[in-house]
């Protein structure tokens, strides 16, 4: 029921398309019955069958109207249905006669009227098939597109803890592969479901009206068909779930192999990675083969059941014809309707399997969308226009376990950053430096304590407002497969080129950008792969400069650069830090000498604090780090 409620929230947006589609299905069904109803006039007026034969066809033979004789007490239960459908047949016959009189049809012209009417009915049937099919697809594609957009929005707004728990390959599989299977079922197959069910209902009633006893014989296998559909569907749902899990593993390996291609080549591990990928594809193959086994097996089983039912029907019809309770023409009309039922049954079998795949994928999608983000936005909270006094970490503790009972990464951190001050964080790897700065833009929330901007807890600020106050440059520069201009302006298409160039010039990037083939319109490739490390970092600095945020975070911004590039990037960083409150992480102590204050972290706690000279004189942890780098 929870899954039904999940879909209803999206279905409501496309009710008008659904109603149009359902109306088309109903008219399609009526047109199909009209086509069946024209069989008698074709015999009577076009093929000149005898009156006695026609009478037999209309009433299903001498026994066609005798429910008491054919069905006994059971048949009496269906007398209201037979009476109603008999009225429908009479009304249809009268409508046909009225149409013929209105058109002035008589004599030899009758030969043309029934075929022409049949063509018109078939044209109407085709038009309704198009209308209902397109309407269902419009609704289905709209629903699944909205689901995919909401799923991506949900993922992109999740905390960093969420992205540590789920691999990028798994998330890719949910957004692309799972939604694709759901889209195939909802957009392409939803129409078949409704159309098949409506047509089966129409055809079932029609069979009962043509010949009640023969219809009972024909429909005896319906419960068996339903049972088989349910059994195959249940199995398909299970194997699809496993198949999609294997697809997530595949996506993860593919993403890692492509991203880490240089490392793979450097260690000569191409065949090792190919082996890992082949083992994953083998697992995916086995899961898919199980699904194909069920899918392929279902059709022969259903068709064999239908063949057995058909044999029983022919035997029953042969006996009735010999007893004079059914004419050959009546049986042919009955058989036409029965054969028309085969296509909806076949489609239902195929659709059922696809539908079960979609149900399995829906559970995976719904499960991911139900994951609550620990970073809760408060858009109604008052906004902060800028930094007036400073930033304060007040008794901050943190660990990566959601319960708060894991190994502490930060313990009771007290740290003040005054407005316009540059504070450097140093310490050994694993000391908690990056974790501490990640709390400021709320990539995580502390387990206890709080981070305050001008005495306002950042959890009380709208996320958009908070992050607009912070510029970030990290050691892993994130650039997009777009133009240089769009990477610097990032999401701000309204900015004039002159403003972008000013930021690039301050980051010492304008010269190498203008030397590119298309200048600021040059596409730099995925991750900026067409640029050197120093060039990528300067573009990131230009982006932070253009954002013009009052608070700046620099996380190992020069750690991956050669000496020459580091000098240029360091000058760009000095331009970036000017007039801003900066929190700088650096392993190279040469880059933090000019900081107003240096804070030394070790095992998640502040152990020393002061200027470069003060800490050297203190002779503690900072002095040991300094000696290791410059005298070790």
Each residue's pLDDT tens digit, 509-555: 899 999 998 999 998 887 777 788 888 888 888 888 888 889 989 88
Task: Judge whether 275 lies within some domain.
Answer: yes
pLDDT of residue 562: 62
Do 506 and 364 belong to one domain?
no
**Which range of residues forms the domain containing residue 241?**
2-369
Q: CA-CA distance, 572 to 534, in Å (whole number)?
A: 11
> What one-character-per-residue DSSP string does 198-252 give?
HHHHHHHHHHHHH-HHHHHHHGGGHHHHHHHHHHHHHHHHHHHHHHHHHHHHHHH
Do 431 and 312 belong to one domain?
no
Do 398 and 356 belong to one domain?
no
Tokens matching residue 489: 């302006």
Which single residue is written with the structure tokens 């059941």?
A: 305
* Residue ranges in the chain modelled with pLDDT below 70: 1, 39-40, 42-101, 103-111, 188, 219-222, 229, 233, 237, 241, 244, 259, 262-263, 267, 299, 329, 379, 402-406, 557-565, 631-632
Do 397 and 346 belong to one domain?
no
Number of Cβ atoms within 10 Å of the Cβ of 6: 16
CB 433 within 8 A of CB 426: yes
Q: Where are the alpha helices (DSSP H) in 480-580?
A: 484-489, 497-506, 510-514, 533-547, 563-577
> What one-character-per-residue DSSP string does 588-627 give?
SGGGSTT-SEEEEEETTEEEEEE-HHHHHHHTSHHHHHHH
pLDDT of residue 391: 93
Convert the pLDDT of each residue in 121-147 to its tens digit: 889 988 998 898 888 888 888 888 899
Do 295 and 433 belong to one domain?
no
Do 245 and 299 belong to one domain?
yes
- How many domains in the chain? 2
pLDDT of residue 197: 82
Q: Quote the crossing angle between the two packed helices 190-210 and 15-37, to the nearest 10°.
A: 30
Last residue of a domain, one of 307, 338, 369: 369
pLDDT of residue 492: 85
Last residue of a domain, one of 369, 402, 425: 369
What residues contact residue 18 under an 8 Å CB cut-off, 6+ apart? 11, 135, 136, 139
Dihedral sign (CA 291, 293, 299, 302): negative
Do 201 and 52 belong to one domain?
yes
Task: Judge whether 329 lies within some domain.
Answer: yes
CB 471 within 8 A of CB 488: no
User: Does the predicted TM-score (pTM) go above 0.75?
Assistant: no
pLDDT of residue 212: 73
Task: Judge whether 380 lies within some domain.
Answer: no
State the CATH number of the domain containing residue 461: 3.40.50.300
Tokens matching residue 603: 């095992």
Per the DSSP assignment, residues forming a β-bridge with 608 are 600
Task: Judge whether 626 lies within some domain.
Answer: yes
Per the DSSP assignment, residues forming a β-bridge with 456 are 453
CB 620 within 8 A of CB 608: yes
pLDDT of residue 567: 76
pLDDT of residue 402: 58
Do 419 and 310 belong to one domain?
no
Name the burial class of residue 440, with classes exposed (0-12), middle (13-18) and buried (19+) by CB atoms within 10 angstroms of its CB.
buried
pLDDT of residue 45: 62
Do 59 and 119 belong to one domain?
yes
Last residue of a domain, one of 369, 400, 424: 369
Q: CA-CA distance, 584 to 424, in Å (whole number)?
A: 5
Do 423 and 523 belong to one domain?
yes
pLDDT of residue 464: 86
Q: CA-CA distance, 532 to 336, in Å (whole number)?
A: 73
Task: Judge whether 88 lies within some domain.
Answer: yes
Do 347 and 461 belong to one domain?
no
CB 422 within 8 A of CB 596: yes
Do 286 and 325 belong to one domain?
yes
State the CATH number of the domain containing residue 26: 1.20.1560.10
């Amino acid at each position: 029921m929870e899954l039904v409620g999940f879909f209803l929230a999206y279905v409501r947006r496309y009710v008008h398309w659904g109603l149009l589609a359902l109306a088309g299905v109903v008219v399609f069904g009526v047109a199909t019955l009209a086509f069946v109803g024209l069989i008698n006039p074709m015999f009577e007026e076009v093929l000149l069958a005898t009156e006695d034969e026609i009478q037999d066809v209309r009433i299903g033979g001498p026994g066609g109207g005798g429910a008491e004789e054919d069905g006994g007490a059971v048949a009496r239960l269906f007398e209201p249905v037979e009476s109603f459908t008999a009225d429908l047949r009479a009304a249809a016959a009268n409508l046909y006669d009225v149409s013929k009189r209105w058109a002035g049809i008589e004599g030899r012209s009758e030969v043309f009227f029934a075929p022409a009417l049949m063509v018109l009915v078939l044209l109407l049937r085709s038009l309704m098939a198009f209308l209902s099919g397109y309407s269902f697809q419009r609704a289905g594609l709209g629903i699944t597109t909205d689901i995919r957009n909401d799923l991506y929005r949900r993922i992109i707004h999740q905390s960093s803890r969420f992205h540590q728990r789920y691999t990028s390959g798994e998330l890719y599989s949910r957004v692309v592969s799972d939604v694709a299977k759901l889209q195939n079922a909802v957009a392409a197959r939803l129409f078949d479901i409704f159309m098949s069910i409506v047509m089966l209902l129409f055809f079932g009633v029609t069979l009962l009206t043509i010949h009640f006893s023969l219809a009972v014989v024909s429909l005896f296998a319906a419960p068996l068909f339903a049972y088989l559909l349910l059994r195959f569907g249940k199995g398909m749902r299970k194997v699809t779930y496993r198949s999609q899990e294997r697809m997530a593993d595949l996506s993860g390996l593919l993403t890692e192999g492509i991203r880490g291609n240089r490392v793979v080549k450097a260690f000569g591990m191409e065949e090792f990675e190919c082996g890992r990928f082949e083992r994953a594809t083998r697992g995916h193959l086995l899961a898919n083969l199980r699904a194909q086994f069920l899918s392929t097996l279902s059709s022969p089983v259903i068709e064999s059941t239908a063949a057995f039912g058909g044999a029983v029907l022919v035997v029953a019809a042969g006996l009735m014809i010999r007893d004079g309770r059914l004419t050959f023409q009546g049986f042919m009309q009955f058989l036409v309707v029965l054969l028309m039922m085969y296509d909806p049954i076949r489609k239902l079998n195929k659709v059922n399997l696809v539908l079960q795949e979609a149900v399995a994928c829906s559970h995976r999608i719904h499960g991911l969308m139900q994951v609550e983000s620990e970073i809760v936005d408060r858009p109604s909270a008052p906004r902060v226009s800028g930094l007036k006094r400073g930033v304060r970490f007040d008794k901050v503790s943190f660990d990566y376990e959601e319960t708060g009972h894991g190994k502490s990464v930060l313990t009771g951190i007290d740290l003040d950053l005054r407005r316009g001050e540059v504070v450097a964080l140093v310490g050994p790897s694993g000391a908690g430096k990056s974790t501490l700065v990640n709390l400021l833009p709320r990539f995580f929330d502390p387990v206890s304590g709080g981070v305050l901007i001008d005495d306002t807890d950042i959890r009380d600020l709208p996320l958009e407002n908070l992050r607009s106050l912070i510029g970030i440059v990290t050691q892993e520069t994130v650039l997009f497969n777009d133009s240089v201009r769009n990477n610097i302006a990032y999401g701000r298409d309204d900015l004039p080129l002159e403003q972008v160039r000013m930021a690039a010039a301050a980051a010492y990037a304008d010269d190498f950008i203008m030397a590119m083939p298309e200048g600021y319109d040059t596409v730099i490739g995925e991750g900026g792969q067409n640029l050197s490390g120093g060039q990528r970092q300067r573009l990131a600095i230009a982006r932070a400069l253009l954002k013009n945020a009052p608070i700046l975070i620099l996380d190992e911004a020069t750690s991956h650069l050669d000496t020459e590039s580091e000098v240029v990037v360091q000058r760009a960083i000095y331009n970036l830090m000017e007039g801003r409150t900066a929190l700088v992480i650096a392993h190279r102590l040469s880059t933090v000498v000019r900081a107003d204050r240096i804070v030394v972290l070790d095992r998640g706690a502040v152990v020393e604090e002061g200027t470069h000279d003060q800490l050297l004189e203190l002779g503690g942890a900072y002095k040991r780090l300094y000696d290791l780098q410059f005298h070790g």
